[in-house]
Amino acid sequence: MIGVESILRELEAALAEAQTPEQVELVRVRFLGRKGTITLLGKETDFRSLGPEERRTFGSQLNELKRQAEELIAAALADRRQRAQARAEAEARAKLDLTLPGKDRRLGALHPITLVQMEMEAIFEGMGFMVLTGPEVETEYYNFDALNIPPDHPARDMQDTFWLEGGLILRTHTSANQVRALERYGAPLRAIFPGRCFRYEAMDASHENTFYQLEGLVVDRDISVANLIAVMKALLGEVFQREVKVRLRPGFFPFVEPGFELDQQCPFCQGNGCSVCKHSGWIELIPCGLVHPKVLEAGGVDPHKFSGFAFGMGMTRLAMLKFGIPDIRLFNSGDLRFCEQFPVVL
């Protein structure tokens, strides 16, 4: 009754011509749209003229035809969409020019002071030290008085100071942390204090007004110079990865008694003399000493029960030695070409 086969074949031929999803949609409208061939078939047939048997056959044929037509169209649509996608990808690939130079993605780097500080902290933490910090804007009391440097003491002139309003100063050394830590933690105590220090100085290749120190403080019962030397040798052994020869010379600092300058046998010439050690065979490295009883007292620690040692390393100087940096002004230059030479290897 209905030319099902011929309509389906007509539909297949139309779909075969449709190259894009949009063209498939046009075919759908042509067959199944409001005025489409198959839709009209249902609308234009006068059902009343058909007998009951014919009506049923016609109805089921029409439904089957619609179902098959929808299936064919859906399959064609999926196929054309996939092809359109593949075409778009091929086009994008064709546009990719492999001869263009790549994007410059810079590797991050840590500042050499940061690298030295991280190394120091790891070494001292391994020996049971706490890592503490204190304020850069400091009181005269912690920076000088508590360290046995009274107002008229000539040692105040050794460290030219930046004065702020209200009697505050920029700390001239990390030693300012010593009494703060003793007040807070008492004895026994094992701590290091890395940090930035400031001095009112004219700048040149070896002088900066802003630099980094790393202070150390150990307070316990029966601490002696032997403990100081042992810790310093352990530290330098870790930094230089071999046994390091050291010597102590007397040095004066009001907050230690006795006070020393710890020299290290020059690691560049093994003590034979070179330009780094100015041909002396030794490098002046770490001022240190046994904590003065007055400093312990200022921190509320009884000097009859406890003793201690302290040291103040120049971290900036250590970084110069370690990386062979010739001019101290490079550290604060903010020049990326400088910092980028110390890539992080984790």
H-assigned helices in 96-224: 112-126, 140-143, 155-158, 177-185
Site for ligand DAH contains 288 (CB under 6 A): yes
d(Cα 21, Cα 287) in Å, to the nearest integer? 82
Site for ligand DAH contains 253 (CB under 6 A): yes
Residue 91: exposure state from Cβ atoms within 10 A (0-12, 13-18, ≥19)? exposed
* Minimal distance, residue 260 CB to ligand DAH, in Å: 8
* Minimal distance, residue 259 CB to ligand DAH, in Å: 6
Contacts 24+ apart (CB under 8 A), 153-160: 153/254, 155/253, 155/254, 159/199, 160/199, 160/200, 160/201
d(Cα 312, Cα 192) in Å, to the nearest integer? 9
Site for ligand DAH contains 312 (CB under 6 A): yes
Residue with smaller CB distance to ligand DAH, 198 or 253 = 253
Site for ligand DAH contains 215 (CB under 6 A): yes
- The H or E element containing residue 232 is helix 225-240
Q: What is the DSSP string of 56-109?
A: HHHHHHHHHHHHHHHHHHHHHHHHHHHHHHHHHHHHHHHH--TTSPPP--PPPB
Which residue has its beta carbon closest to ligand DAH?
A: 312
* Minimal distance, residue 251 CB to ligand DAH, in Å: 7
Residue with smaller CB distance to ligand DAH, 116 or 288 = 288
Site for ligand DAH contains 143 (CB under 6 A): no
Site for ligand DAH contains 214 (CB under 6 A): no
Site for ligand DAH contains 223 (CB under 6 A): no
What mask, x for binding ligand DAH by CB under 6 A, covers residues 109 to 138? ------------------------------
* Minimal distance, residue 153 CB to ligand DAH, in Å: 14
d(Cα 267, Cα 324) in Å, to the nearest integer? 12
Among 80, 171, 173, 292, the residue binding ligand DAH under the rule CB under 6 A is 173
d(Cα 178, Cα 98) in Å, to the nearest integer? 61
- Residues that bind ligand DAH (rule: CB under 6 A) add up to a total of 12
Q: Footprint of ligand DAH on residues 14-73 (CB under 6 A)? A: none
* Minimal distance, residue 119 CB to ligand DAH, in Å: 20
The residue count for the chain? 346
Chain residues binding ligand DAH by CB under 6 A are: 173, 175, 215, 253, 256, 259, 287-289, 310-312
